[in-house]
Structure 1
Amino acid sequence: MVFLEIENLHKTFGSNTALHRFDMKIERGEFVTFLGPSGCGKTTVLRMIAGFESPTRGTIRLDGRDVTHLRTRQRKVGMVFQSYALFPNMTVAANIGFGLRVAGRPDAEIRKRVDEMLALIKLPDLGDRYPWQMSGGQQQRVALARALAGKPQVLLLDEPLSALDAKIRISLRQDIRMLQRELGITSIFVTHDQEEALSISDRIVVMNEGRVEQVGTPSEIYNYPRTRFVASFVGTLNILTGHVVDPSTGRMAVEGQELITTQTLAPDDAGRKRMLALRPEAIVLEAPAPGRNTLAATVEDVSFLGAVVRIRARVQEAVISLDIFNDPNRSLPERGQPVALGFSHENLLVLEEGA
Structure 2
Amino acid sequence: MAFLEIDNLHKTFGPNVALHQFDMKIEKGEFITFLGPSGCGKTTVLRMIAGFETPTRGTIRLDGRDVTYVRTRERAVGMVFQAYALFPNMTVAQNIGFALKVAKRPQKELDERVAAMLELIKLPHLAARYPWQLSGGQQQRVALARALASKPHVLLLDEPLSALDAKIRVSLREDIRALQRDLGITSIFVTHDQEEALSISDRIVVMNDGRVEQVGAPLDIYNFPRTRFVASFVGTLNILAGRVIDPATGRIAVEGQELVTSRPLPPDDAGKERLLALRPESILLEPPSNGRNSLAATVEEISFLGAVVRIRARISKAVVTLDLFNDPHRVLPERGQPVALGFSHDNLLVLDENAH
TM-score by length of 2: 0.99
Cα distance in 2 for partners of 1:204, 1:354 equals 24
Give the alignment of 1:70-85 within 5 angstroms.
Answer: 70-85=70-85
Partner of 1:78, secondary structure, is strand
- The equivalent residue for 1:58 is 58
The AA in structure 2 aligned to 1:93 is A
Quote how far apart the aligned CAs of 1:124 are: 1.3
Structure 1 runs (4+) greater than 2 angstroms displaced: none
- The equivalent residue for 2:152 is 152
Quote how far apart the aligned CAs of 1:264 are: 3.0
Deviation string for 1:144-183 (max 9, x for gaps)?
0000000000000000000000000000000000000000
Structure 2: gaps of 5 or more residues: none
Partner of 1:296, secondary structure, is strand
Quote how far apart the aligned CAs of 1:288 are: 0.3
- The equivalent residue for 1:221 is 221
Deviation string for 1:198-256 (max 9, x for gaps)?
00000000000000000000000000000000000000000000011000101010000
The AA in structure 1 aligned to 2:43 is T
Cα distance in 1 for partners of 2:62, 2:178 equals 23
Give the alignment of 1:79-228 within 5 angstroms.
Answer: 79-228=79-228
Cα distance in 2 for partners of 1:28, 1:108 equals 30
Quote how far apart the aligned CAs of 1:331 are: 1.4
Partner of 2:97, secondary structure, is helix
Contact 2:255–2:316 (CA under 8 A) maintained in structure 1: yes
Deviation string for 1:249-297 (max 9, x for gaps)?
0101000000001223100000000000000000000010000000000
Cα distance in 1 for partners of 2:100, 2:168 equals 29
RMSD of aligned residue pairs (Cα, Å): 0.7
Give the alignment of 1:300-311 within 5 angstroms.
Answer: 300-311=300-311
The AA in structure 1 aligned to 2:89 is N
Partner of 2:353, secondary structure, is coil
- The equivalent residue for 2:246 is 246
Cα distance in 2 for partners of 1:99, 1:216 equals 35
Cα distance in 2 for partners of 1:161, 1:2 equals 28
Contact 2:284–2:322 (CA under 8 A) maintained in structure 1: yes
> Number of residue pairs matched?
355
Is it true that 1:18 corresponds to 2:18 in the alignment? yes
Partner of 1:179, secondary structure, is helix
- The equivalent residue for 2:282 is 282
Deviation string for 1:299-344 (max 9, x for gaps)?
0000000110000000000000000011111111110000000000
The AA in structure 1 aligned to 2:351 is L
Cα distance in 1 for partners of 2:179, 2:353 equals 41
The AA in structure 1 aligned to 2:191 is T
Cα distance in 2 for partners of 1:116, 1:330 equals 54
Partner of 1:226, secondary structure, is coil
- The equivalent residue for 1:318 is 318
Cα distance in 2 for partners of 1:354, 1:315 equals 21
- The equivalent residue for 1:234 is 234
Cα distance in 1 for partners of 2:205, 2:268 equals 31
Cα distance in 2 for partners of 1:180, 1:263 equals 38
Structure 1: gaps of 5 or more residues: none
Cα distance in 2 for partners of 1:354, 1:146 equals 48
Quote how far apart the aligned CAs of 1:100 are: 0.2
Report percent identity of matched pairs: 80
Cα distance in 2 for partners of 1:327, 1:200 equals 30
Quote how far apart the aligned CAs of 1:354 are: 4.8
The AA in structure 2 aligned to 1:213 is E
Deviation string for 1:134-153 (max 9, x for gaps)?
00000000000000000000
Contact 2:8–2:22 (CA under 8 A) maintained in structure 1: yes
Quote how far apart the aligned CAs of 1:90 are: 0.2
Partner of 1:177, secondary structure, is helix
- Which has the larger displacement, 178-187 or 330-339? 330-339
Cα distance in 2 for partners of 1:2, 1:210 equals 23
- The equivalent residue for 1:259 is 259
- The equivalent residue for 2:335 is 335
